[in-house]
Structure 1
Amino acid sequence: MSRIDALIAELCPEGVEFKLLGSCAAYSDTRVDASDLDGKNFIGVDNLLQNAAGKVDASYLPNTARLTAYEAGDILLGNIRPYLKKIWLANNKGGCSGDVLAIRISDAHRLMPEFLYRVLASDVFFAYNMQHAKGAKMPRGSKEAILKYRIPVPPLEIQREIVKVLDTFTELEAELEAELEARRRQYKYYRDALLAFSDQDIRWAAMAEVGEFFRGRRFTKADYVEDGVPCIHYGDIYTQYGTATEMTVSHVRADMASSLRFAQPGDLIIAGVGETVEDVGKAVAWLGHDEVAIHDDCFAFRHSLNPRFASYYFQSTVFHAEKNKFVARAKVKRLSAESLAKLTIPVPSPGEQARIVAILDKFDALVNDISIGLPAEIAARRRQYAYYRDRLLTFKEAA
């Protein structure tokens, strides 16, 4: 930091010049044939990641003939909500969909792509972009307003030093993420080994033998309120919950109570639909003190097992291998209660179930609990990065 402060004092003591983005960058106006693209160089908005996390290779190819071309050094920005915070600094050349903007620097003598990338990944720009987004159902960022965004343009030496500092934070986070991923693989290995029971002679039963399934009743996002009937939507099972929960993140109107269907404490709540075969069947054990309303694309499994044991089994490779045979593979993947009832589940003694749960709870906390261990350290590093990024990108403006 002292190095950057010294450079600012030396090179721009009266402040930093601010310029309209459109005066030093423009949108790509070249086109590329979709036939020349593959999963590695086609960028749809779905395979950009949030918060400058990069991208993943596309699992699909474009369905239009010609797309906008991008080059290495271009900044690709998601341009439809809820993807306005998705951004990537391209390291190859390819093509992007209409929901992605390719921003290319036109004044390389004054602006570094790596520096502009940090500016456009900031919360300040995101708030500006959200403010100017247009449209009702699926708002889009305003291309005109984006080019009118005022960006700081300090001397290149200062830009390089800021990028260097922020890269250090990013590299440290990447190392922690890699270590966490290794822990998760280890956790998955031991979880699958414990739940396969390959070296034990235990009873395996159809799920219909140890419990029964109840389907939820429909409610929509329009029914959500701050304080009402606790509820679990199938989408929340993917995004909000782990193995078990005692509280919900969502509530629906109290006057709907008579039309809802509820899971009881100890029930396993199972997502009956998903975008992929792997997603369908994700489950969370409901350990709250009272009943909870469930969506009609969820099933409550009322059973005689340890709830956390049943939930862990639903995460195992052996469960997914059997479950996948029963998934209806339409555009939206589905599992029926009849199919779930046919799946088998191990039924060890209550003591053995409790022993396995105790072991897996420790592993689960180490890789998923954001209050301890590596997840907590990664969260702290992200907060630290955001703090220094915002501080480093805040300049006194030259008169």
Structure 2
Amino acid sequence: MSRINELIAELCPEGVEFKEVGELLDYEQPGKYLVESIAYDNNHATPVLTAGKTFILGYTDETDGIYPASTNEPVIIFDDFTTAFKWVDFPFKAKSSAMKMLTPKPDAIESLRYAYYAMQTITYAPQDHARQWIGTYSKFCIPVPPLEVQREIVKVLDTFTKLEAELEAELEARLRQYKYYRDALLAFEDQNVRWVTMSEVGKFFRGRRFTKDDYVSDGIECIHYGDIYTQYDTATMSTVSQVRSDMASSLRFAKPGDLVIAGVGETVEDVGKAVAWLGDGNVAIHDDCFAFRHSLNPKFVSYYFQTAAFHAEKNKFVARAKVKRLSGDSIGKLAIPFPPLDEQERIVTILDKFDALVNDISNGLPAEIKARRQQYAHYRDRLLSFREAA
């Protein structure tokens, strides 16, 4: 930090020039880099990317139309609808035509990495589903200090980024360990445990339709199928969304203890994901969800739905159209273990402790990663706060 302050005092004591992002960066459309098949396989060589949270959607064996990013010629991938962006320094293919590849314009800015960090300070959330780069985002301004200052800022922020990446790698290793133990615990190998089809121990019913236009800030709690694989984990006592109270008579509700299952998804993996509803009252469910009403421990069933064995069996029943679907009849044919209730509760207690270690942001590694991210954001914003030159 002191070195950066010295450079600023020496090279730009009167402030720095602010320039529009579009003056500094060129964009390229992804057309020739789009993946043709979504038959991804982790054994394939080339990652398929999105600029969103998922980042790597899978791996393809396609060999044509690969974007040649590298450590020497990196690129920023930018989602033209959400304005999310990622740093990429390896070859890849793109999934969405809404992605743009951003590179530095000749003689405009030398450090793309600096521009990447400076873009993180832009606070903007699109309010409509429209293209953002050309008309809006490229017009935002960022400070452009002398190159020596840019390099020092990048050096500091890269150090924070590396430390966070190391913590995330350790957390990922623990997640793999946890998943292995969970799957082994719920396999009941060499144990005299009864296995039953889900239709033998419960019943299914489908929700009723509502749309995002029906959402309100204070209304009836609801679960949309998309939220099951983006917002919830094993169980929840509250919802992220609510719909209008005057819709009550047209809705269908899950009760506390029911398992709410996503019946559709963009990928085979997403279909069949589930969350146990543990709220105090009933919850409205979307018509692309199923509720499973049963007498088992709800978290026990939800944990089993996360196992590799369950997904391997479930995948046989998924209808593989553009949108992947799973029917209630098909789910009812799936087998689940049915140990005594006290054994179900014992397993849930064990898995809850493991789950907290890798997912609870108030403890352990997740808490440390959260603190590191807050520290990074603090220093990033300080380092990138410049006085604009007159």
TM-score, structure 2 as length reference: 0.88
Distance 1:384 1:40, change over 3 A: farther
Distance 1:372 1:148, change over 3 A: same
Pick from 189, 200, 214 the counterpart of residue 198 of structure 1: 189
**Alpha-carbon separation, structure 1, partners of 2:150 and 2:25:** 16
Which residue number corresponds to residue 113 of structure 1? 112
**1:19 CA drift (Å):** 3.2
Secondary structure of the corresponding residue to residue 143 of structure 1: coil
Pick from 157, 168, 173 the counterpart of residue 166 of structure 1: 157
For 1:210-225, what aligned pairs fall within 5 Å after superposition? 210-225=201-216
**Alpha-carbon separation, structure 2, partners of 1:31 and 1:334:** 29
**1:397 matched to 2:388:** yes
Structure 1, unaligned runs of 5 or more: none
1:243·1:284 contact (CA, 8 Å) conserved in 2?
A: yes
For 1:358-377, what aligned pairs fall within 5 Å after superposition? 358-377=349-368
Which residue number corresponds to residue 47 of structure 1? 50
Distance 1:232 1:8, change over 3 A: same
Structure 1 residues 252-278: Cα deviation after superposition (integer angstroms, max 9, x where no partner): 111111111111111111111111111
**1:382 CA drift (Å):** 1.4
For 1:1-399, what aligned pairs fall within 5 Å after superposition? 1-28=1-28, 47-50=50-53, 55-56=55-56, 59=59, 73=73, 75-82=75-82, 84-92=83-91, 98-108=97-107, 111-124=110-123, 126=124, 130=126, 138-143=129-134, 145-399=136-390
2:255·2:283 contact (CA, 8 Å) conserved in 1?
A: yes
**Alpha-carbon separation, structure 2, partners of 1:381 and 1:317:** 32
**1:149 CA drift (Å):** 3.5
**Alpha-carbon separation, structure 1, partners of 2:131 and 2:268:** 30
**1:193 CA drift (Å):** 0.7
Structure 1 residues 223-269: Cα deviation after superposition (integer angstroms, max 9, x where no partner): 11111111111111111111111111111111111111111111111
**1:58 CA drift (Å):** 5.8
Secondary structure of the corresponding residue to residue 123 of structure 1: coil
2:27·2:101 contact (CA, 8 Å) conserved in 1?
A: yes
**Alpha-carbon separation, structure 1, partners of 2:332 and 2:30:** 55
**Alpha-carbon separation, structure 1, partners of 2:251 and 2:339:** 34
Distance 1:164 1:301, change over 3 A: same
Structure 1 residues 68-108: Cα deviation after superposition (integer angstroms, max 9, x where no partner): 987854543424223x1223254559889752333332345
Structure 1 residues 316-349: Cα deviation after superposition (integer angstroms, max 9, x where no partner): 1111121111111111111111111111111111
1:229·1:293 contact (CA, 8 Å) conserved in 2?
A: yes
1:31·1:69 contact (CA, 8 Å) conserved in 2?
A: no
Identity of aligned residues (%): 60
1:238·1:279 contact (CA, 8 Å) conserved in 2?
A: yes
TM-score, structure 1 as length reference: 0.86
1:229·1:252 contact (CA, 8 Å) conserved in 2?
A: yes
2:29·2:97 contact (CA, 8 Å) conserved in 1?
A: no
**Alpha-carbon separation, structure 2, partners of 1:201 and 1:366:** 30
**1:163 CA drift (Å):** 0.3
**Alpha-carbon separation, structure 2, partners of 1:283 and 1:31:** 35
Secondary structure of the corresponding residue to residue 56 of structure 2: coil
**Alpha-carbon separation, structure 2, partners of 1:326 and 1:93:** 31
2:51·2:79 contact (CA, 8 Å) conserved in 1?
A: no
**Alpha-carbon separation, structure 2, partners of 1:263 and 1:33:** 44
Distance 1:78 1:204, change over 3 A: same
- Structure 2 residue identity aligned to 1:88: W
Q: Greater CA deviation, 96-105 or 279-288?
A: 96-105
Instruction: Figure out how many residues of one structure are paired with residues of the other and give that number.
Output: 383
**Alpha-carbon separation, structure 2, partners of 1:280 and 1:33:** 28
**1:23 CA drift (Å):** 4.5
**Alpha-carbon separation, structure 1, partners of 2:32 and 2:14:** 45
Structure 1 residues 123-159: Cα deviation after superposition (integer angstroms, max 9, x where no partner): 34x45xx48xxxx6x3111425555433322121111
1:273·1:297 contact (CA, 8 Å) conserved in 2?
A: yes
Distance 1:2 1:305, change over 3 A: same
**1:40 CA drift (Å):** 6.8
**Alpha-carbon separation, structure 2, partners of 1:377 and 1:160:** 27
**1:56 CA drift (Å):** 2.5
